[in-house]
Structure 1
């Protein structure tokens, strides 16, 4: 019977669409020999002439080449019936207890395993929660099918995200080229300074374009891997449902917990606020050109630095999957505050369970980046503690964390007892500040091995971590906060 199950699994694989990774729905044959769901083909992007391409081999596809594959549709129905029959036959074969030789007609919810009526009367199971095996089968098959539906929804979301990225990429790259042309027109006014100034603009915009293309390539790899993983899990569930009652119920809770803790890795958005960024860049270019013309000076270093900063600003969004249950996040995921009660949130490996921390969604493994954080004291009487900065992607999420570079955290903040601090080690470094800054700018220079903090209010330096060893790890914005404060990024 195991061989029959493997045969059914192999047939199921052949009946799976490469786009949605589920059984073909209204299958369509293409000239290249591949098949695809009618709805999945409808989601593919059309070119200027109304054509598209095969998602598997990229061969061109025209409307006249599309034809329904009725034989495949019929074969899919037969495979579904065969799969159902194998599952029913497996359900009809209840195993026997190895110890007592009796049929396994009961299920012990406490031990997560099938038992016989003799086992139920022993001291081992006397106080355990026991239900009929038929009831357990129905209960857990409904749960595992719900998990499969959730995995399928995750897959559909990834497919949609992949389509959006494919459509948005050329539009964003065209925006960058348009900005480059616009800069050319503005900089023509600068006469002898034109070549060098335009060289700065062209280089920076080209770097932005390369960064977007690199991120998109990485995202494509992530999406394909995640879709493949989800497809594997769905097929694993299909095989699980074909097992005998004894096999199916063995450690079923552990199996369900494993599916429930599956976290789909989210690709980095390669186009965050691109239009807003380019609009700011364009305005900065115009203002600086005007300033240079008025002063008749070749202050190109300042020109280069200010334009670079306009491109490197990060619009930080808080990652709710990492937030400690005592931290309350706003709907737009820009503000955090301390809650009076511990929230009932899903327990996942990425959540800070003890230390009141949260990470930003954005990640950095190269380049220069900066963002601003506003720290607001809610009541004069409250003297809380807080910290902010950057942390490695793999920073410790469970239990205590000493907020130091040894733990993969580079941060500054305030302590109730010690006042303003840089979290350089367990001993900390006291900061001599005339007053606590209300708004802090965080600068990250990955290749320069530097994390710098300045006051937005005074533009004064707060602290710099020099010669930082990031060990090629991905970094994310980091926030730590206790009662009495609110942070907005």
Structure 2
């Protein structure tokens, strides 16, 4: 006999036909659930099983803990048996509820079902399909899904390979740029170290000159003291004959007396205030920076401008622009004129940088053709391939720096006084060769030129 059947047979209440809960045993020896026997005794006053009379007070009996413990074990065994039954049914492809083969798929609930489940209340009105049909449909979906995953993996692998190649190129470029940067900084360091040595050597030379002057003074002082002592020794002779005789016999003393001249007038002490390096005392860094401008590469060169605009005048050296608006004649009423100009220098490859001193001008456009930075007196904006973008740049630079990288096809704008980045645009395709572009506007004759410098 199975364990669960044993518990069910011997631990079942005769009234509720369920396993005991809180069992009690009457004096006749029969056991029932406390709640069940209390109701039966109050109704009939006898044991439901043997008919023995039971007084009303006999229902207040202690719990039979042995039966209670066995009842709990019986319920646990029943739960395990039910679970094993469900698992067996699943393994065998049977419905755990009806023990029928699972031949259908409930589309509504997205679960397997048997024929009895289909006709039951829980699946009333639901849509069902045969399992084979559902399996074929799901297989197609999964195959398509697997293909999408495979395609994504292939695409990701291509990205990884491309990125790996780019990383390799970037490492080579980083190494190249690092070497270039180190070399350029070393050139500046060498210049600064050389100038430092020159200035410190100049100081040491001045110090040595002061020491040599002191040595000359001390030598002159020693010679004067020897002469003083010699003359004093002659003066100590009191006898006139001996005094004159000593004077006449010592020709050197006579010669010294005739040739002696005060040395103090010839020797002047070096005052502390005379030890000066000029502007290097207070403006060393500034003067070094100005000197470095003469040795750094690239150096400033003129950026010649094309002539030909009716409203613009180019200076003789080709580096400055003047706005020359037209007048009506009498009364000198001037028209506001927009004047465009391009550089003679053209760019087709590499990197290029130039600066424009815009001063306090209230309107200008600077860059290359169709790609430029604009200031209209109130705000800044960029134009790149007909797309205008307003900027939130709050500064008011007096000098604009423009950097053109033909390789990466990027055009950057800077405040050239402190090299603050303003904006970078990407024209994409650049028609070669390119020229620097300038556009200025004024209403009166322009006393201040717009100066251009190319590096």
* TM-score (norm. length: structure 2): 0.32
Between the two structures, name the one with larger relative contact order (CA 8 Å, sep ≥ 6): 1
Bigger Rg over Cα: 2
